[in-house]
Structure 1
């Protein structure tokens, strides 16, 4: 099984990138209406959904790049938890009934990244190797 374990940093890096790209979509639709037709569409910047879009976009970009991964993942996890309880948890205790599965999953994936670090393919890894981290 050692041959599988040596791929763990790469798998972690891929998980970080894919989860961040999915999360980033939520911010882009709120800030820029991209892709066209996606809900909820562009939001006023200083509204609750506008601020959510800023958080999703900034942390999403940082996590895709693997730059400041641990702080970005911590903020994203906390944001996803707050979003779950604010938007979903008040409707039902069960995520399948309150449509909060995605927010809960984001919360725990980003919490894992906070503890595990960025994995492979990250700017954090380059900064650390160059003595900058």
Structure 2
């Protein structure tokens, strides 16, 4: 017998809320890179046709698709891969520990998106299964 504080029937709703929250937070990275909103100084002068520009497009467009729950599984798989690449290119070389190499967020996004690639969008999605 499993002790459940919150009944299992609420799992799809929690999953959908996690997808929406992660998407909104992820979209901020793309908007900051592409439109300087919110302004992040390190993205000043960013070129659209660069690795960071491509990342911004994936973050904004992929984040929007995740937000509305459209093509969730393939988009989440692509975004998970993007975050894995970001972690290894930008963080892992500095130190093995994510807390020391400032790669915690990239690693967490990688696994959150991997979860959605496997589990699907949950509730509140256009492509709910």
User: Do the structures match in fold with TM over 0.5?
Assistant: yes
Match of 1:54 among 57, 65, 88: 57
Match of 1:74 among 73, 77, 88: 77
Partner SS, residue 52 of structure 1: helix
Match of 1:115 among 118, 121, 125: 118
Residue-pair matches, total: 125
Structure 1 residue 3 displacement after superposition: 5.8
Unaligned runs of 5+ in 1: 129-133
Q: Is 1:91 paired with 2:98?
A: no
Counterpart position of 1:23: 26
Partner SS, residue 92 of structure 1: coil
Match of 2:43 among 41, 44, 68: 41
Do the aligned partners of residues 96 and 2 (structure 1) sit closer, same or farther apart at CA in structure 2, a change above 3 Å counting? closer
Give every structure 1 segment of 4 or more consecutive aligned residues whose post-TM-superposition deviation is greater than 4 Å.
none
Q: Deviations over 1:55-86 (max 9, x none)?
A: 11111000000000000100000000000000
Structure 1 residue 39 displacement after superposition: 3.8
